[in-house]
Amino acid sequence: ETGVTQTPRHLVMGMTNKKSLKCEQHLGHNAMYWYKQSAKKPLELMFVYSLEERVENNSVPSRFSPECPNSSHLFLHLHTLQPEDSALYLCASSPQKTDTQYFGPGTRLTVL
C-alpha cells in the first residue's frame, strides 16, 4: 500500500497532444518530486517542490510544465512531447525536502 497515488497509470499520446499527469500524497508531506525513469538508466530527477514552491528544475525541457497547487497535489503538464520522452514518470514525496522519499506507482507514458 502506498500513500502516494498517480493517475493515469498508463498514457498514450501523440506528439501534438496536451495531457497532464497527476500525483496525490496522503502522507502530510511538504515536499514533492517528479522523476523520469527510462529503460536501463538511473532515475532522473526532474522537479522538486517544497511547500508548493519549485526549488529545483534540473534542465528539463519546457514541454514539461509542473504545477503544485497545494502540498498534497502535484501535476506534470505535457505538451508537444517527443517519442524519446516515453518513459515511466514517478512522483515522490517526503516530509521535508531533505528527508527520505516515498514513491508513487508511476505513469507509463508512450509518445507516438
Pairwise CA distance, residues 40 & 96, whole Å? 29
The least CB distance from residue 37 to other proteins, in Å, is 9
Count CB atoms within 10 A of the CB of residue 108.
Answer: 15
Q: Which three cell numbers stand for residue 82?
A: 517527443
Q: In terms of CB distance, is 31 or 111 closer to other proteins?
A: 31
68 alpha carbon, distance to own chain's centre? 11
Is residue 53 within the footprint of other proteins (CB under 8 A)?
Answer: no
Is residue 63 within the footprint of other proteins (CB under 8 A)?
Answer: no
Residues 9-48 that bind other proteins (CB under 8 A): 9, 31, 33, 40-43, 45, 48
Q: In terms of CB distance, is 15 or 28 closer to other proteins?
A: 28
Strands 4-7 and 18-25: antiparallel
11 alpha carbon, distance to own chain's centre? 13
Is residue 50 within the footprint of other proteins (CB under 8 A)?
Answer: yes
Q: Which residues bind other proteins (CB under 8 A)?
A: 2, 4, 6, 9, 31, 33, 40-43, 45, 48, 50, 55-56, 90-92, 94, 97-98, 100-106, 108
